[in-house]
Structure 1
Amino acid sequence: MIKTKRFGEWFEIIVPSHWDGLSIDSILREKWSAPKKLIHSMSMEKQIKVNGEIINWHNPLVAGDKFQLKLFQEANFDVIPEYHEVEVLYEDDHMIVFNKPAFMDTHPNSLHDETNTLANAAAFHLLAKGEIRKVKHIHRLDRDTSGAVLFAKHQLAGSLLDKLLEERRIKRTYLALVHGKLTLKKGTIQEPIGRDRHHPTRRRVSPTGQPATTHYELLETFRKEDLSLIKCQLDTGRTHQIRVHLSSIGHPLAGDLLYGGRPIINRQALHAAKLQIPHPFTEKLISCYAPHTQNHILDNFFKDWSHKL
């Protein structure tokens, strides 16, 4: 694990042995793939030092050097902060994970009008702590899906977390309650997903769609109710991916009327129960477990599975 420390607006990384010989430029551009605009801004504003000094960005660093970045300046919220009771699963100086309730959008469609989304709650949470930050969601959940959602608290963290998600190093595990009894204990669905031209919001398996991969594993079968509890992990993050894929194999989510589920509950039975993140700066693996406590019917099926995944 890489040793780090915060000093006010500055963040300090003790250069680890596996960074020995790298330059500031190579860390920003190659290792971190930071945006060019951000790199230029940090250079012009002299927001990077080594051992307290401004140095040539092409000079090699030595293990043990203090690599210092000015990351924690105030930045105006781009959404309206508003209080909502939302559980925080993990938080540090760079990122925050919330347990999103069902029936809440991840972010507003209109930044200046909507205030009832998770992004608004995130902004209020930081404001209450005296942190003025332009928070950014790294991934999203459907409005009716509950569970863990990751936000970045500054621009460089957002860029690094985006890269980790793209490289499939951030692992998302879902609990899903589906109709029917699964014949296979484990399986992988690799079917491209595209828009359904006959419906404004529905997606479907389509040969011309985007590649999508969902892995699933049977956890428990409820014979009396003709339901199965499964866990799903995604290699891709297409809109409605789990819902479309499970419906395509004849096991739609309970409550998911859009994709063939029956209305035994008032929403699709899908919960983002676990999120694993290799920390973008320390490289420590952060594991977040999101308890499900919002729907008594689903609670009976999900039980304590969130902590067993």
Structure 2
Amino acid sequence: MEARAPETFGIPWPDLNDGLLYTDDLSLSDCDLTLIEFYSRKYKNSAPLQGWLQRIQNGQITVDGTVTTDPNKSLSGLSRLIYHRLPWKEPDAPYLLKVLYEDDHMIALNKPSGLQVLPGGLFQQRTALSQLQWRVSKNISAVASQGKHPVPVHRLGRGTSGILLCAKTKLAKTRLSMYFADGTSLIGENRCLKEEVKTTRKISKVYRALVVGILDQDEVIINQPIGIVKYPGVAKGLYVASPSGKPALSKVYVVSRDIQGNRSLVQVEIQSGRPHQIRIHLSFIGHPLLGDPLYVNGGQPRCFDLEFVDENVAHDGGYQRPENPVPGDCGYFLHAHMLVVHHPIWEEVIKITAPLPSVLQTDDEADVHQRKGIRQHLSN
């Protein structure tokens, strides 16, 4: 089936989300615990002890369908516990998404900076996934939409813009996920490194970024491993440059240098997909992304007080939003510019491009973009 014409879609966010329900089915090993012991031990990263006491006393927890406000209630084995996180107003986020490519099996979107891909933390509803689900619900009467439930097959950081690839069928999801798991490597013509590369890899991603400082070399290969350290406000830990981490490879090509502004415009091809890989790798070589609030030289976090945790309780009983920078903070300039992929069903090689933001364009590219805009205006 041929790709459909591009469109822009999105529904403005409701003021409050729907809250969340978290269900736990107890095991026999939990039967000697009290209600407060269970939650404060198992979910200590979600809230401090005082926060869980607040949630219980607010009537936000049921045991076998009955609201329980006694934190010292003894639990019996095989009970079902449900914690109701109350609705809240999520931080501001853009909601419009542009379709770059779509067929019956997959869809590629141009994600704006500031929009989270999947639910997590404060963003449970204001995500790209929610907009995809609402789009399907709106068009559910259309035959082409039935049975199609698009889901992202990879992630982009909240502050990263550009191509987000999503699968619309189970088979496409399985195959595209395998392509990403195998690592990424350019298919066919490698414009980033100015050479021809033949490879068995099925997918490649090229990013554009603005970094601090002037790179001496036109091409740089970074193979610094990436690992995890304990970090306040990030329950699963923070990804950093670490000798004991997992292998990661980035190929960097300098597009232009701004000597006066002490910054460089670069393209980056990644052959692995570690979280925050480009931010970590470029900061590791001494050229962090311009405006990055978190990563500094060496691929490490700006704040070194990694053991500090603020025990103050927020309105919902959870921890206060940490004062230190966290991975989801925006402000840097990183754009997933080009993706080349073997179609998961019929194996055709497809190239998808997301237009560059003006700050990531060279003067020549900006001139071309302006001329195209003028021609489109005149044709209308």
Place the TM-score, normalised by the shorter chain, in its bin.
0.5 to 0.7
- Give the Cα separation in 1 of the matches to 2:290 and 2:118: 25
Q: Which runs of 5+ in 2 are unaligned?
A: 3-93, 185-201, 303-329, 370-380
Is the 2:256–2:362 contact (alpha carbons within 8 Å) kept by the matching residues of 1? no
Aligned to 1:212: 248
Highest CA radius of gyration, 1 or 2?
Answer: 2
Aligned to 2:103: 92
Q: Secondary structure, in 3 states, of the residue corresponding to 1:161?
A: helix
Residue identity in the other structure for 2:339: L
Aligned to 1:44: none
Residue 279 of structure 1: CA displacement? 0.4
Aligned to 1:118: 128
Q: TM-score, normalised by structure 2?
A: 0.53
Query: Residues 236 and 171 (structure 1 numbering): CA distance in 2 closer, same or farther, change over 3 Å?
Result: same
Residue 292 of structure 1: CA displacement? 3.2
1:252-307 CA distance string (max 9 Å, x none): 00010211389xxx6111000111111011111111111134xx655677955999
CA RMSD in angstroms, aligned pairs only? 2.9
Q: Secondary structure, in 3 states, of the residue corresponding to 1:257?
A: coil
- Give the Cα separation in 2 of the matches to 1:302 and 1:287: 22
Task: Indicate whether 1:194 and 2:217 are aligned.
Answer: no
Residue identity in the other structure for 2:166: F
Aligned to 1:282: 346
- Give the Cα separation in 1 of the matches to 2:231 and 2:124: 29
Aligned to 2:118: 107
Aligned to 2:137: 127
Residue identity in the other structure for 1:119: L
- Give the Cα separation in 2 of the matches to 1:175 and 1:278: 22
Query: Residues 305 and 247 (structure 1 numbering): CA distance in 2 closer, same or farther, change over 3 Å?
Result: farther
Residue 245 of structure 1: CA displacement? 0.6
Query: Residues 117 and 301 (structure 1 numbering): CA distance in 2 closer, same or farther, change over 3 Å?
Result: farther
- Give the Cα separation in 1 of the matches to 2:138 and 2:240: 42
- Give the Cα separation in 1 of the matches to 2:264 and 2:114: 23
Aligned to 2:279: 243
Aligned to 2:267: 231
- Give the Cα separation in 1 of the matches to 2:280 and 2:367: 23
Query: Residues 208 and 277 (structure 1 numbering): CA distance in 2 closer, same or farther, change over 3 Å?
Result: same
Task: Indicate whether 1:163 and 2:178 are aligned.
Answer: yes
Q: Which runs of 5+ in 1 are unaligned?
A: 6-82
Identity %: 35
Task: Indicate whether 1:172 and 2:183 are aligned.
Answer: no
- Give the Cα separation in 1 of the matches to 2:368 and 2:252: 15
Q: Secondary structure, in 3 states, of the residue corresponding to 2:230?
A: coil
Task: Indicate whether 1:270 and 2:347 are aligned.
Answer: no
1:129-181 CA distance string (max 9 Å, x none): 33243322111100010010100001111001112222332111100100111
Residue 105 of structure 1: CA displacement? 0.4
Residue 230 of structure 1: CA displacement? 0.5
Runs of 4 or more consecutive aligned structure 1 residues displaced over 6 Å after TM superposition = none
